[in-house]
Amino acid sequence: MVLVLALGDMHIPHRAPDLPAKFKSMLVPGKIQHIICTGNLCIKEVHDYLKTLCPDLHISRGEYDEETRYPETKTLTIGQFKLGVCHGHQVIPWGDLDSLAMLQRQLDVDILVTGHTHQFTAYKHEGGVVINPGSATGAYSSITYDVNPSFVLMDIDGLRVVVYVYELIDGEVKVDKIDFKKTTTTTTH
């Protein structure tokens, strides 16, 4: 039972001052084992804050990040799943699911976490699952101003993942979940 937090695109301090208070009250240290951040934090203070939530932090570089040394893509293995992180501004067209699927096959991961569009999506194709946690602060994106703050918490338990989607809609936190299982047969290229 491993809890993995996926979030990103906070754009602090340029586009938003901080995470919403209701999110911050829920995110307490000691519950989460890993954090995956798609990028665009943008400053070191946000990095430090995430570090206090959980020491195991994985970040990929977004185009506005002030820390230049984050990697473009990152892969890690948690339990039976391989996860990949990439900010997504590199994949053109932005947010296009087929192109992201190509990236996923390239990284050879079961779950790809990307951002940049500031919209939550969870998409399944035969190679795996692509999850976009959206923007944790609700900052405006290059595409739209209409953004709800959102992030994702994954509960990895053996071959099964439960993805909890937290969204702030009209000042209230709404939680949904998505269930999926990894099929044990792997696709051969």
Q: Which residues contact 47 (CB under 8 A, 6 or more apart)?
A: 41, 57, 59, 67
Closest separation in Å from C-beta 147 to other proteins: 18
Q: Which of 101, 147, 97, 114 is nearest to 39 (CA)?
A: 114
Query: How far is 51 from 151, CA to CA, in rounded Å?
Result: 17
Of the pair 1, 21, the CB lying nearest other proteins is at: 1
Closest separation in Å from C-beta 97 to other proteins: 9
Of the pair 57, 178, the CB lying nearest other proteins is at: 178
Chain centroid to Cα 164, Å, comes to 12
Of the pair 43, 173, the CB lying nearest other proteins is at: 173
Closest separation in Å from C-beta 131 to other proteins: 9
Closest separation in Å from C-beta 38 to other proteins: 18
Residues that bind other proteins (CB under 8 A): 1, 3, 25-28, 30-31, 121-126, 129, 153, 155, 157, 160, 162, 164-166, 175-180
Q: Quote the tokens at residue 75.
A: 């892969």
CB atoms within 10 A of CB 88: 29
Of the pair 13, 158, the CB lying nearest other proteins is at: 158
